[in-house]
Structure 1
Amino acid sequence: MAKIVIIVGSVRSERHGIKVAKWVVSKLKEKGHDVSLVDPLELDLPILDKMYKEMESPPEKLQNLQKILKEADGYVPITPEYNHSVSSALKNTLDYFLEEYFFKPSAIISYSVGAFGGITAGNHLRQILAEMGTLAISSQLPISKVHEVFDADGKLLDENYDRRFSRFLKEFEWYMSALSKQRESGMPY
């Protein structure tokens, strides 16, 4: 169906985001989507100096990432909440690119160990994504008390999230389909 890129937002040693990401990857693959997982821990990108488009000879890992992002139909950034905002690892990963995101939807998943599920970080991320040209769908999937939702191996413990994700995905799929048709008919500029 669609090509979807999951972007993990944490590089911490005991991060919960990778559990969330692996669960999301499995849910998307169950629906037949082509899924790529972007993990800033594996990329080990330096703090942004030049964007991809400004580099004369980008490293191979950035060339591969650029191709994945360019071919995507949509993006699912998974953000922790650090001081009411997104993580620097997520922001740094996103900022290497720009045009690759244009006119494609994103669907925000946020999480925290607290009761609000990173919703403030998700709201901040919505502003960032809009500026980058990948408008976020209106729904957001906050995961509260993430340490109680997944076990140490990343197995989902709260089945309510399966139901919530299903509805979230339907909206995201609708936007991917709609914007794909519009991109086929041409760009607005």
Structure 2
Amino acid sequence: MSLVVLVILGSVRSDRQGLRAARFVIAELQARGVEAPLVDPAELQLPLLDRMYKEYPKGGAPACLEDLATLYRRSDAFLVVSAEYNHSIPPALSNTLDHFLEEYSWRPSGIVCYSAGQYGGVRAAMQLRAMMAELGASSIPSLLPIPRIGKALDEAGAAQEAWLPKAAARFLDELVWYAEALKAQRAKGTPY
């Protein structure tokens, strides 16, 4: 079963480390035959949320939101790559996620979190888990936290520590399982 898993990057900082994690998981997904487009808020230049995509008249949303809505509707799962800013979700990630609602429904999400320190962004991941559930894309039980990201991954996203590919394989096995299961169920119809 061919899958599309959107990788949503959460930071727009010029020296952001999340690109390393995004590149790593994209390569891991592609090695499994999964299409994994990157949603990068720094490239998209999304406006600050004034109206959700669904609140625009049909065909009246900014082109970047129309394009993103089309991509979201093609997806089978969302993989969110989040830093931890002040023990919370980065504002660019919240803004990117909040533009949409129905487009997330009946699709799982996976959370890759990271930090420069030892906690790997898990405090932000706990808040992100609640947010994704509210949006309709509940997170899978496992997380992929990456502590000390500057040592764990190089700039190209290649793992520099042996534990990381093993942890990623288990995490992605779970995400793919949920994505395939929910894709099959969506094909039969959804409760509403």
Question: Shorter-chain-normalised TM-score: which range?
Answer: over 0.9
Instruction: Trace 1:170-185 onto structure 2 (pairs within 5 A).
Output: 170-185=173-188
After superposition, residues 35-184 of structure 1 pair within 5 angstroms as 35-56=36-57, 57-184=60-187
2-structure distance, mates of 1:159, 1:92: 34
Q: Deviations over 1:92-136 (max 9, x none)?
A: 000000000001000000000111100010111000000000010
Match of 2:48, SS state, is: coil
Cα distance in structure 2, aligned partners of 1:179 and 1:124: 23
Which structure carries more relative contact order (alpha carbon 8 Å, separation 6+)?
2
CA distance in 2, matches of 1:182, 1:46: 34
Distance 1:155 1:188 in 2: 41
Tell me the alpha carbon deviations over residues 23-63 of structure 1, each in whole angstroms, 9 at most, x when there is no partner.
11111111000111000000111210000111131122211
* Alpha-carbon separation, structure 1, partners of 2:42 and 2:118: 26
Letter aligned with residue 111 of structure 1: Y
> Which whole-Å CA distance do the structure 2 matches of 1:61 and 1:46 have between them?
9
- Structure 2: runs of 5 or more not aligned: none
Q: Give a deviation string over 1:71-109, Cα, whole Å, max 9, x none.
A: 100000000001111100000000000000001000000
Question: 1:20: which partner in 2?
Answer: 21
8 Å CA contact 2:22–2:157 kept in 1: the answer is no
1:152 CA displacement: 3.8
TM-score (norm 2): 0.96
- Mapped to 1, the partners of 2:12 and 2:75 lie a distance apart of 23
Q: How many residues align?
A: 189
Distance 2:88 2:173 in 1: 27
The sequence identity of aligned pairs, in percent, is: 42
| CA displacement at 1:155 relative to structure 2 | 2.9
Deviation at 1:153, TM superposition (A): 4.1
**Aligned partners of 2:46 and 2:64 also within 8 Å:** no
Gaps of at least 5 residues in structure 1 are: none
With structure 1 as the length reference, what TM-score do the two structures score? 0.97
